[in-house]
Structure 1
Amino acid sequence: MTTIVLIPGAMHGAWVFEPLLAELSERGLTAVAVDLPSSSADTASIGSLTDDVDAIRAAVADIDGPVVLAAHSYGGVPARAAAGTIESVRGLVMIAAFALPVGASLLQAQGGEFPPSYERSADGRGVKIGDIAETIYSGVPQDVVERALPRVQWQSVESFTQPAPAEPGPDVTVTTVIATEDKALPADQQRQWAEASDAQVSVASGHSPHVSHPGVVADAIADTVRRVDAAS
């Protein structure tokens, strides 16, 4: 049986996938969501991109059988690295995610410096998006946004500046979910990265389609699982 591992974007934890987990469960799919060390309320102990890859590796190590990783936004960076280095990872779903080439950093992809709207922690080790409701949660119902905002944490500066260490090989089935109304990651950039994917799904969503359109994302993941199972 193929297991799905959900990987959150910057400043978020496993909690953000609650709507998607429910949809996957309805489809009879087995899924777990992980927290990444690079997102934390405590910047003194905040992790790096390397720590995130290690966290994904640890989660996958506890799973028997093939794995499909499904990653949102920044989570696509450690997910691609994990997919390129863990043999049991057979599929990858990129949900409005950064498909950086090896050697590039997330900060480079954003122009080399943090946008003016970003807030910096007192020790300089963490950042938060100041206009998160508008950029990350565009198109999400207001009551859902209000419940989510207090749970947003610091994201480590190091995770933005470390270069992407690896990428999936040709034996990993890749699906890209393109958010066509994304205000954080332009849809044109998503489409460009998606050209190397095995399948593409477009959804009229802002940057968080797993929250605003969890059924569409669940269908894309389910299709990827079917293709992985067929190839096994």
Structure 2
Amino acid sequence: MSVGLRSPKRRWMYPALAFSAALAAFVPNAVGSVAAAADSGAGQHTAKPTIVLVHGAFADSSGWTTEIRDLQRLGYPVVAAADPLRGLSADADYVRSVLQTIDGPVVLVGHSYGGAVITNAARGADNVKALVYVGAFVPDKGESIATVLDPQKYPGSLLGPDTTVVRPAPNASAQGGKDADIYIKPQDFRSVFAADVSASDASVMAATQRPLSYTAETEPSGEPAWKTIPSWDLVTLNDKAIPPAGQRFMAGRAHAHVAYVKSSHAVMVSHPKAVLGVVLDAARHVG
């Protein structure tokens, strides 16, 4: 016991140096190495497109857990990208960097704000063969998620000043490095986001939610990838975050293949089979 306590720094010095050396060797070849690793890990899955899942605001990649298990069981390679939620262009750039490490065709899926992210991330990503919007924003050029839907024309969202809390936060993507993070109030989370999820699960989701920055909410979209890439859209008919009528409008404008489900905004948690069905339909069209 005394030997272990005598010089704790020496116990960690060599592993840390080894890790640094390994990282230095890895970074210059990161894209090729990750792609090769994906190939060797996928093996027999190379005939199927990779499904890339992008979560939205007030959530994280764990929301896709059931879909991931089902897709993997069916032999699809899956990547659940961690959406930074810091700014639309920065978030899209990050997701695009993930796409660049994947060989072969990709079906790119976005929920909520993640729909705006995939709209921009797929631009210039030649391996993205289909876009899937899940209870999502589908902005056109110049629109932000704050402006794409006129609340007078598309009422029904409970997401607003009364149900959210704003906290000052640093953000390298924001002008001057200062921003504000938006959270749904815990007491309102279930009614706004997850009405058809159990109270206990919704409480956990509220406690673990990841905030959306004001910059991400208000930054306008660039040229949308849905103008050149086939799109699918799952409209959530009981949604109290993005009004269903607004979702229909955006899906129609994008000429998406539209499906419907009686679900809250948390459709990936409450109706994973409906999400899976739309993703598989898109994947079949990819080949």
Q: TM-score scaled by structure 1?
A: 0.88
Equivalent residue number for residue 187 of structure 1: 244
Equivalent residue number for residue 164 of structure 1: 221
- Verify the 8 A CA contact 1:107 1:114 in the aligned structure 2: no
CA distance in 2, matches of 1:26, 1:197: 31
In our comparison, the structure showing a higher alpha carbon Rg is 2
CA drift of 1:99 comes to 0.8
RCO comparison, higher one (Cα < 8 Å, 6+) = 1
Cα deviation 1:164-220 (Å, max 9, x = unaligned): 112125541200001111111111111111223341110111112111110111111
| The 10-residue stretch of structure 1 (109-118 or 129-138) with the greater mean CA deviation from structure 2 | 109-118
Structure 2: gaps (5+ residues): 1-47, 152-158, 170-178
Answering whether residue 166 of structure 2 is matched by residue 120 of structure 1, we say yes
Equivalent residue number for residue 129 of structure 1: 184
Q: Is the partner of 2:146 in helix, strand or coil?
A: helix
The one-letter code of the counterpart of 2:275 is V
Alignment length (residue pairs): 221
CA distance in 2, matches of 1:34, 1:109: 24
The one-letter code of the counterpart of 1:100 is P
- Verify the 8 A CA contact 1:173 1:228 in the aligned structure 2: no
Equivalent residue number for residue 66 of structure 1: 105
CA distance in 2, matches of 1:26, 1:219: 14
CA drift of 1:111 comes to 5.4
Answering whether residue 62 of structure 2 is matched by residue 5 of structure 1, we say no
Answering whether residue 231 of structure 2 is matched by residue 174 of structure 1, we say yes
Change (3 A) 1:206 1:92: same
Pick the aligned partner of 1:14 from 41, 53, 61: 61
Cα deviation 1:97-126 (Å, max 9, x = unaligned): 001111011122365995332201044521
Equivalent residue number for residue 199 of structure 1: 257
Change (3 A) 1:198 1:109: closer
Equivalent residue number for residue 90 of structure 1: 129
- Verify the 8 A CA contact 2:89 2:120 in the aligned structure 1: no
**Percentage of identical aligned residues:** 28
- Verify the 8 A CA contact 1:180 1:204 in the aligned structure 2: yes
In the TM superposition, structure 1's runs of 4+ consecutive aligned residues that sit over 4 Å from their partners are 110-114
Q: TM-score scaled by structure 2?
A: 0.72
Q: Is the partner of 1:184 in helix, strand or coil?
A: coil
Change (3 A) 1:143 1:118: closer
Answering whether residue 285 of structure 2 is matched by residue 227 of structure 1, we say yes
Q: Is the partner of 1:227 in helix, strand or coil?
A: helix
| The 10-residue stretch of structure 1 (19-28 or 29-38) with the greater mean CA deviation from structure 2 | 19-28
The one-letter code of the counterpart of 2:184 is I
Pick the aligned partner of 2:272 from 211, 214, 225: 214
- Verify the 8 A CA contact 1:13 1:34 in the aligned structure 2: no
Equivalent residue number for residue 24 of structure 1: 71
